[in-house]
Amino acid sequence: MVSNQIDNLNNQSFLPKVSVVVPIYNGEADLPDLINCLRVQTYPRDRAEYILVDNGSCDRTAEIIKQKSEDAKQQGLTIRYQSENKIQSSYAARNAGIRASNGEIIAFTDVDCRPQPDWLSAIVQVFADPTVGVVAGAISALPGQTLLEKYAAYRKILCHEGAASHPFLPYAAGANLAIRRQTLQEVGLFRPYLTTGGDADICWRIQQQSSWRFCCAEQAVVLHRHRSTLREFRKQFHRYGRSQRYLIELYGSNVFSDAWKLKYYLRWWIRWLVKVVPYTAAKMIAGKATFLDFWLTPIDLIASQAEAAGRREAKLSAEARQIEWL
C-alpha cells in the first residue's frame, strides 16, 4: 500500500474524464443530500459524469433520479439514470454503471454517503501516476444522534484505515473507491451475484493478477451515515460476517482469524456485569465517563455475535464466483 499526499487538488495538467457510479436501492431519503454533494464537487463539470444506478427499488428512487438529472442539465452537471433490475446486488448495479460509463477513471460511492467537495479532485489526482490502478479514499462518520451511530463513529466502523492496512492485502470499501478503466479491462468487473465482500474481492484480484498499484488518497473524504437501529446494526454485522466467509472461500482460510466462539461471548458478558458495570457507573457519577462508555462492551458483543452468525451461516454459491467482463 502506498499513501499519497495530494499537494494540488486543482492540477490542470491532469484532468481525465471521470465517471462516478452509485448503486442505489430504495434511496429516496438519501438521494437529495447525495446529489447536493455531487453538485458542489470541485472537479470540472465537463470532465465528470455521475451515473446513479437504480437496483430494483420499490420507492421513488427512479423518479427522483430522473427529475434531478433534468435539473442538473440546467447547471451543466451530467447526472445519468441507469437501472439494474435483473440481479439484486450492489455489485451488479456497479457493473451496469461501469458499462454505461465513458470515463477513464471510475469512482464509486454509496447513496448513504456524503462526498466532500474536493473528494473527486483528490481521488483522481492519485491516478496521475500511470502505475496506479486502484485508489482508496478516506471514510469518516456523519454526525449521529443515536447510541449506535455514536458507537460506530467511536469504533471507526467502515473506516478506511482498517481496510487499507488489512494483513492479507489492502482494499477499499465501495463507499469510497476509484479504479482505472484499463485495470478493469484486465482483471474483470465485480462478481455480480456476490452480495457482500465484492469491494475487497476486486481490490485483491487487481493486486494478485496485475501489476497495477493500490494507493490511498487521504484527502478524498466521504462521510458515511451509520445504522441507527439495533435491527439495522445487527444486519450490518451479519453481512460483515458473510463477507468474511465468502472471502475465505475465495482466497483461503488465512484471510481472517478464527470465528467467534460462544465461550468467549459468555465470558465477556460476565466480565461486563461483574467488573465493567460498577466501575463505569462510578465514573459516570463522577462525570468521568459517558453513556456510550457504559454500553461499549454489550454493543461490541452484539456486533461480534452477529458477525459470527454471518460467517457460520454463509456459503458461497457457484454463481457468486462468476466475474463479469467489459
C-beta separation of 216 from 193 below 8 A = no
Q: Are residues 204 and 287 in the same domain?
A: no
Q: What values do phi and psi take at 82, rounded to 5? A: -140, 155
Say how far residue 11 (Cα) sits from the centre of its chain.
27
Q: Are residues 21 and 69 in the same domain?
A: yes
**What are the start-end ranges of the H helices in the chain?**
31-39, 61-73, 90-100, 119-125, 147-155, 160-164, 181-187, 198-209, 230-251, 262-271, 277-285, 291-313
Q: What is the mean pLDDT of residues 179-201?
A: 97
Q: What values do phi and psi take at 143, rounded to 5? A: -55, 130
Of 171, 160, 27, the C-alpha closest to 93 is 27
The count of domains in the chain is 2
Q: Are residues 47 and 165 in the same domain?
A: yes
Domain range spanning residue 189? 2-226
Condensed to tens digits (0 to 9), the pLDDT of residues 136-178 reads 999 999 988 899 999 999 998 888 787 888 989 999 999 999 9
* Secondary structure in 3-state letters for 196-229: CCHHHHHHHHHHHHCCCEEEEEEEEEEEECCCCC
**Is 261 inside any structural domain?**
yes
Q: Are residues 251 and 222 in the same domain?
A: no
Q: Are residues 83 and 113 in the same domain?
A: yes
- Say if residue 266's pLDDT is above 60: yes
Question: To the nearest whole number, what is the mean pLDDT of the chain?
Answer: 92
Strand partners of residue 16: none
Grid cell 467482463 — which residue?
Answer: 325
Check residue 6 and give its pLDDT.
45
Check residue 263 and give its pLDDT.
65
Say how far residue 230 (Cα) sits from the centre of its chain.
20
What's the predicted TM-score (pTM) here?
0.91
Q: How confident is the model at residue 259 (pLDDT cuts 50, 70, 90)?
A: low
Q: Are residues 148 and 186 in the same domain?
A: yes
Residue 126 or residue 267, greater confidence? 126
- Say if residue 3's pLDDT is above 50: no
Condensed to tens digits (0 to 9), the pLDDT of residues 33-59 reads 999 999 999 999 999 999 999 999 999
Q: Are residues 71 and 194 in the same domain?
A: yes
- Say if residue 7's pLDDT is above 70: no
**Is 145 inside any structural domain?**
yes
Pairing of strands 177-180, 105-108: antiparallel
**Is 326 inside any structural domain?**
no
Check residue 317 and give its pLDDT.
95
Identity of residue 246? Y
C-beta separation of 139 from 59 below 8 A = no
**Is 197 inside any structural domain?**
yes
**Is 174 inside any structural domain?**
yes
**Is 78 inside any structural domain?**
yes
C-beta separation of 73 from 45 below 8 A = no
- Say if residue 11's pLDDT is above 90: no
Q: What is the mean pLDDT of residues 75-101?
A: 96
